[in-house]
C-alpha cells in the first residue's frame, strides 16, 4: 500500500526524536513530507518540508493577516477549541503545500503538534492521526493555568481524529481520565530496528545506560544502584551516554561515591557510537519514573 503522508513535528530535522525521524524515513516507503514549526538549517533534511518559520508575510500581507486573525481564531475556537493554528497567508501557504505535494493523510507526532495542525487537516478533509509519546499526554495537561484550555482542545481534536496511537496503555488511560478518547485507539510501542543491532563480542563487566539526563529518567538512581551492585562485582563499569541538566549532578554524585573510574560519562554521542557500545555490552540498564511535573 502506498500513501502520501505528511508527518507533523515541532522541529525538523531533530536527531533527538528518533521515532519521528524513523517514521519520516521509512513509513510508506519514506515518501512522506514534513510539517514543522521550526527547522535546524545546519542539519540536512531528507524530505520536502513546510516550515512555518519560513513563511513570514510582507507588510501588506501582515496587515491583512492581522485584520483577519480575530475571525479565523474565533472560528477555530468555536469549532476546535483551538486559537493557535496557522492563519491568513500562512494557512493558505500550508494548504497550497499539502495540495501541491498530493498529501493524502497527516500523522502528528505528539499531541502538542496535533493540536496545532489539526484545524487545517479538518478544513481540507484529510485523514488525521495522532501519536502520543509521553509528556504530551501527562505533564502537558497538568499545568494549572493552561490545563482546562488544553484539555478542551484535546477533546475536540482527539474526538474528531481518524485514530490515535500511544506508546503505552498508561498514556491512553491518562487521556481517558480527562475525557479525551477516540474509539480507534491503539497501543504501538516505539520499535527497534534489530538489523542495526547485530550480536558482537561482549566486553566483560560493561553496563550501558543511554538516555537524557532529566528527572523522568532518574539518572541519579541509575548511578546509585550501579555503585551498590558493583560492590559484589569489582570488574563492572557503567558507561552513561546522553546529556541534559542532570549530567553535572550525576558526575558529582559519582565522585562523591568514589566511583569516578567505574562510572564513565560520554555525554551526547551520535547513534553510531551508541549502537557500537550496545553491541559490546552484556547488560543494558534503563528505568523511568514519574517526574515532579507529572
To which CATH superfamily is domain 5-187 assigned?
Glycogen Phosphorylase B; (3.40.50.2000)
Phi first, then psi: what are they for 238, rounded to 5°? -110, 125
Give pLDDT, residue 71: 57
H or E element that contains 108: strand 105-109
3-class SS of residue 68 = helix
Q: Is 152 helix (H, G, I), strand (E, B) or coil?
A: helix
Predicted confidence at residue 54, as pLDDT, reads 80
Answer yes or no: are the C-beta atoms of 149 and 81 closer than 8 Å: yes
Residue 29 has pLDDT above 80, yes or no: yes
Record: fold of 196-284 = Rossmann fold (3.40.50)
Q: What's the pLDDT score for residue 176? A: 98
* CA end-to-end span of the chain: 39
Nearest to 236 by CA among 272, 209, 266: 209
Name the region of 218 (left: φ>0; alpha: ψ -120 to 50; beta: rest): left
Predicted local confidence at residue 45, as pLDDT? 77
Of 39-53, 92-106, 129-143, 271-285, the poorest mean pLDDT is in 39-53
196-284 has the same fold as 5-187: yes
At 60, give phi and psi (nearest 5°): -65, -45
Q: What is the mean pLDDT of the chain?
A: 88
For the chain, the structural domain boundaries read 5-187, 196-284
Q: Which residue has the higher pLDDT, 16 or 111?
A: 111
Q: Is the pLDDT of residue 30 over 70?
A: yes
Q: What is the pLDDT of residues 58-94, one digit of tens each?
A: 555 555 556 556 655 566 555 655 557 777 688 888 9
Q: Decide: helix, strand or coil at residue 254.
A: helix
pLDDT at 31 over 80: yes
What is d(CA 294, CA 291) in angstroms, rounded to the nearest whole number?
5
pLDDT at residue number 15: 79
In tens, the pLDDT along 95-148 reads 999 999 999 999 999 999 998 899 899 989 999 999 999 999 999 998 888 899
Whole-number pLDDT of residue 65? 59
- φ, ψ of residue 286 to 5 degrees: the values are -155, 140
How confident is the model at residue 198, as a pLDDT? 81
* pLDDT for res 178: 96
CA-CA distance, 235 to 164, in Å (whole number)?
47
Amino acid at each position: 500500500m502506498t500513501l502520501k503522508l505528511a508527518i507533523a513535528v515541532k522541529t525538523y530535522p531533530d536527531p533527538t526524536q528518533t521515532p519521528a525521524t524513523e517514521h519520516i524515513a521509512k513509513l510508506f516507503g519514506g515518501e512522506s513530507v514534513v510539517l514543522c514549526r521550526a527547522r535546524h538549517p545546519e542539519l540536512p533534511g531528507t524530505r520536502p518540508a513546510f516550515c512555518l518559520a519560513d513563511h513570514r508575510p510582507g507588510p501588506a500581507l501582515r496587515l491583512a493577516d492581522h485584520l483577519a486573525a480575530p475571525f479565523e481564531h474565533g472560528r477555530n475556537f468555536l469549532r476546535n477549541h483551538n486559537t493557535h493554528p496557522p492563519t491568513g497567508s500562512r494557512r493558505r501557504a500550508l494548504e497550497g503545500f499539502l495540495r501541491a505535494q498530493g498529501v493524502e493523510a497527516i500523522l502528528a507526532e505528539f499531541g502538542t503538534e496535533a493540536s496545532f495542525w489539526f484545524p487545517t487537516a479538518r478544513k481540507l478533509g484529510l485523514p488525521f492521526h495522532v501519536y502520543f509519546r509521553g509528556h504530551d499526554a501527562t505533564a502537558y495537561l497538568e499545568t494549572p493555568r493552561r490545563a482546562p484550555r488544553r484539555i478542551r482542545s484535546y477533546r475536540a481534536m482527539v474526538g474528531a481524529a481518524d485514530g490515535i496511537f500511544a506508546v503505552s496503555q498508561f498514556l491512553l488511560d491518562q487521556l481517558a481520565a480527562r475525557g479525551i478518547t477516540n474509539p480507534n485507539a491503539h497501543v504501538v510501542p516505539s520499535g527497534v530496528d534489530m538489523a542495526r543491532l547485530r550480536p558482537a563480542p561482549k566486553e566483560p563487566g560493561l553496563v550501558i545506560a543511554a538516555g537524557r539526563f532529566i528527572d523522568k529518567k532518574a539518572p541519579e538512581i541509575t548511578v546509585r544502584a550501579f555503585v551498590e551492585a558493583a560492590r559484589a562485582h569489582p570488574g563492572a563499569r557503567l558507561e552513561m551516554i546522553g546529556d541534559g541538566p542532570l549530567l553535572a549532578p550525576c558526575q558529582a554524585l559519582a565522585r562523591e561515591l568514589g566511583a569516578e573510574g567505574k562510572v564513565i560519562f560520554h555525554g551526547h554521542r551520535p547513534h553510531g557510537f551508541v549502537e557500537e557500545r550496545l553491541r559490546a555490552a552484556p547488560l543494558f540498564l534503563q528505568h523511568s519514573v514519574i517526574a515532579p511535573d507529572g
